[in-house]
Structure 1
C-alpha cells in the first residue's frame, strides 16, 4: 500500500496545464502560414487606423506637376495621372476596404450563421423555409442585385456594406446547418434531454458554444471574398464615391488606360495590396479551421 509521502510524490508528477503563452507558441510553430496571415491582416488594420498619420502625402491632393512619375525615393510607388502619390492612396485605401469588408462580413456572417444554426437545430418547416430561401438567393446573380441596390440608394460606404452583407448572407449557413445537426443529435444532448433540460438551455448551453468557433472560421475565410467584392464594385464604377481612396478605384478607369501605356505602377501596387490581404485572410481562416475543427481539413 502506498504511503502518504508516495501519494504526494505521485501527485507532483501529474503534468500541469501548459501556460497560455507556451500553447500559443506551439500553435504558431504548427501553423506558420496562419501566423503570416494574422500578421498581414494586423498590418493592414494598423494602416487603416493610422493611415492619415503614416501616409507621406495627402491621398486626395491633385498636382499639376509630377504626373505619372515612376517609383522613386520621393514617391516609392510613383504617382498617378492626377499627380497623386500611389503609396499614400494604397495606405488610405486600406481603411475603406477594411471598414467595408469587416463590417459586411460581420453583419452578413452573423445573420447567416444564426439562420444556419436555427435551421440545423429545429429542422422541419424552419429548415425547409431557410434552405429554400438560400437556394433561391443563390440562383439570383449577385452583381445584378448590387446594381439594383446601389442604383436605388446611391453610392456610399453604408450602401456597399449592406449590399455585400446581403450577398454573403447564406454563404456559410449550410456548413453551420450541418455542424448544428451533428451536435443536436450527439449523445450529450440526448443525455441533457433525458435529465429534463429545456430546449432553450440545450441550445444556448451545449449546442451554440460548440458551433460558434466554426462561425469565426467562416467569417475569416469570407473576408477575402468581401474585399474582392468591394474592389470589383469600385472597378465597375458602382463602389464608393469617385475620388475616395480605394484599391478598386485605383485599378479602374483612367488608371487602366495609362497602365496600358506603360505606367504599370499605377495599378500594380493597389493590386498587390488586394492580393496580399486576401491571401492573409485565407491563410488565417485555414489555420483557424485546422485548430478549432480538424475534421474540416482538406
Structure 2
C-alpha cells in the first residue's frame, strides 16, 4: 500500500516550471560570481545611503561655514570641508541621490525609446529598418560625451538637460541590441504560429518578442548606468550640469581642482566616490552578463 502511494505521488507530481528553473539557475550562477555579488551589495548600499543618508548627516550640504573652510579630515568633518566651509562628507551623501537619479532616469529614457525603435526596426524590416538604423548610425557617429556636450550646449546647463542629453546618446545602443535580438526571435516557428492564429502586430511584439529580448537589455542597462553617471559627472565638471550650490559630485570635483595642492581632499573624496559607484555598476553588469549568457550554463 505504501509503495502504491509513493508511485502515485511520483506519477501525479507536477513537472518543474521551466521559468522557475531558469531563475534558479540564474541566481545560482550570479552567487558564484564573487565580483558581481560585491558590486550588487555596493549598489544596494548606495541606494540605502541615497534614501536615508540625508536624514542622518549632522550638517546642511549648502550652508557655508567660513571659519572652517578647507579644514582637513577630522573627527568633526570626516572628509574635511571645502572652500566655503561646507562638510564634504555631507555633500557626498546628499549627492548620492542626485548621481543615481541621473544615471537611472537617463538610461530609462534611452532604453524606452531605443527598445521601441529597435523592436519596430527588427520586426518590420525593409524600409522601416533602413530608415531607423541610418538615424541610429548618425547618432553613433558622434562620441557619446561629445554628443551630450552639444545637446546640453543647445538646451542650456542644468541637471535635467544633462539627463535628456545622456538619454539621447544612449538610444542607439539599446536600439541596435533590441533589433538584433528581434531579428533572431521573429524567425522562430512559434511566431509564425501566433501570426497564423490572427494575433496583431502589437500583441506579437509586446507579448511574444519583447520578453525574449530582455536579458541583453538588463545587462546593457546596468552597464549604461555606469556610463551615464560618468558622462553626467563630466558635464558637471565642465560647468554644464548641476549648478552651484547643488552637491553634485562632478561639480564638487570641479571646485576641488583649484585646491589640489593646498587641500587635495576637496577633490579626492568626490572623485573616489565617482570611481566606486561606476566600478560597482560595471562589475555587477559583467556578472549579470555571465549569468544570463546561455552559452555558460555548464
TM-score (norm 1): 0.87
Q: Does 1:102 align with 2:104?
A: yes
Q: How many residues align?
A: 293
The equivalent of 2:279 in structure 1 is 279
* C-alpha contact (below 8 Å) 2:149/2:235 kept by paired residues: no
Q: Which moved more, 1:190-199 or 1:75-84?
A: 190-199
> For structure 2, which runs of at least 5 residues remain unmatched after alignment?
none
* C-alpha contact (below 8 Å) 1:289/1:296 kept by paired residues: no
Alpha carbons of structure 1 residues 215 and 72: separation in structure 2 relative to 1, 3 Å = same
The equivalent of 1:204 in structure 2 is 206
Alpha-carbon separation, structure 1, partners of 2:292 and 2:239? 39
Alpha carbons of structure 1 residues 54 and 258: separation in structure 2 relative to 1, 3 Å = same
The equivalent of 1:258 in structure 2 is 259
1:139 to 138, 141, 144: 141
Q: Which moved more, 1:99-108 or 1:154-163?
A: 154-163
2:120 to 94, 118, 121: 118
2:180 to 178, 181, 184: 178
Q: Which moved more, 1:185-194 or 1:230-239?
A: 185-194
Deviation sequence 1:145-204 (CA, Å, 0-9, x none): 444443443322221111111121112221221111111112322343455544443323
Shift in Å, 1:258: 0.9
The equivalent of 1:247 in structure 2 is 249
Structure with higher helix content: 2
Shift in Å, 1:238: 0.8
Deviation sequence 1:226-267 (CA, Å, 0-9, x none): 0001100011111111211011011114x11211x1522211
Alpha-carbon separation, structure 1, partners of 2:34 and 2:201? 41
Alpha carbons of structure 1 residues 215 and 142: separation in structure 2 relative to 1, 3 Å = closer
Alpha carbons of structure 1 residues 295 and 118: separation in structure 2 relative to 1, 3 Å = farther
Alpha-carbon separation, structure 1, partners of 2:179 and 2:23? 34
RMSD, aligned α-carbons: 2.8
* C-alpha contact (below 8 Å) 1:119/1:177 kept by paired residues: yes
Alpha carbons of structure 1 residues 20 and 208: separation in structure 2 relative to 1, 3 Å = closer
Q: Does 1:288 align with 2:252?
A: no
Alpha-carbon separation, structure 1, partners of 2:88 and 2:75? 13
Q: How does 1:214-253 map to 2 (within 5 A)?
A: 214-253=216-255
Q: Does 1:86 align with 2:88?
A: yes
Shift in Å, 1:269: 1.3
* C-alpha contact (below 8 Å) 1:38/1:280 kept by paired residues: yes
TM-score (norm 2): 0.87
Alpha carbons of structure 1 residues 33 and 241: separation in structure 2 relative to 1, 3 Å = same
* C-alpha contact (below 8 Å) 1:47/1:54 kept by paired residues: no
Deviation sequence 1:50-81 (CA, Å, 0-9, x none): 23212231111211122222221111111122
SS in 1 for 2:172: coil
Alpha carbons of structure 1 residues 294 and 221: separation in structure 2 relative to 1, 3 Å = farther
Alpha-carbon separation, structure 2, partners of 1:203 and 1:159? 32
Q: Which moved more, 1:18-27 or 1:74-83?
A: 18-27
